[in-house]
């Protein structure tokens, strides 16, 4: 239940991600107050109970300088192997170091099997 005093407002934040392969250049979304779902009879002016907004879709590679799509959060593990010493020991033992670096933008959490 929400109470709104005269002049008060509430902001609802919605997020949309177009389906893969969607080719449109603009996303348009509309919202309307649902009297039936609210269980209330019509009240006030119904002329302003609906609103729409459009926002351009920004894709990587767009030439628009204001197009700056968010950085995709992903894990990118880099594995590097190097000799710990330049030569193996006389008895044939070779030492290596394995570096695993998360070069991504999101935290890796899980087993590492090499």
Q: What is the pLDDT of residue 1?
A: 66
> How many whole angstroms separate alpha carbon 47 and alpha carbon 33?
11
> How many whole angstroms separate alpha carbon 80 and alpha carbon 109?
19
> How many whole angstroms separate alpha carbon 7 and alpha carbon 3?
12
Q: What is the pLDDT of residue 36?
A: 82
- What are residue 78's phi and psi, to 5 degrees? -110, 130
Strand partners, 79: 100
Per residue in 84-113, pLDDT tens?
988 999 999 999 999 999 998 899 999 888
What are the structural domain ranges in the chain?
A: 24-67, 70-113
Q: What is the pLDDT of residue 107?
A: 93
Which residue's entry shows tokens 């709104």?
4
> How many whole angstroms separate alpha carbon 53 and alpha carbon 13?
13
27 pLDDT band (50/70/90 cuts)? confident
Q: What is the pLDDT of residue 101?
A: 93
58 pLDDT band (50/70/90 cuts)? confident
């Amino acid at each position: 239940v929400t109470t709104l005093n005269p002049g008060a407002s509430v902001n609802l934040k919605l997020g949309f991600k177009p389906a893969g392969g969607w080719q449109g250049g603009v996303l348009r979304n509309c919202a309307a107050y649902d009297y039936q779902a609210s269980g209330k009879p019509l009240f006030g002016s119904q002329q302003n109970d609906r609103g729409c907004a459009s926002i351009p879709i920004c894709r990587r590679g767009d030439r628009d300088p204001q197009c700056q799509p968010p950085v995709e959060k992903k894990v990118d593990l880099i594995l590097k192997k190097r000799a710990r010493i330049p030569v193996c020991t006389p008895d044939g033992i070779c030492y290596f170091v394995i570096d695993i670096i998360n070069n991504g933008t999101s935290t890796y959490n899980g087993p590492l099997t090499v």
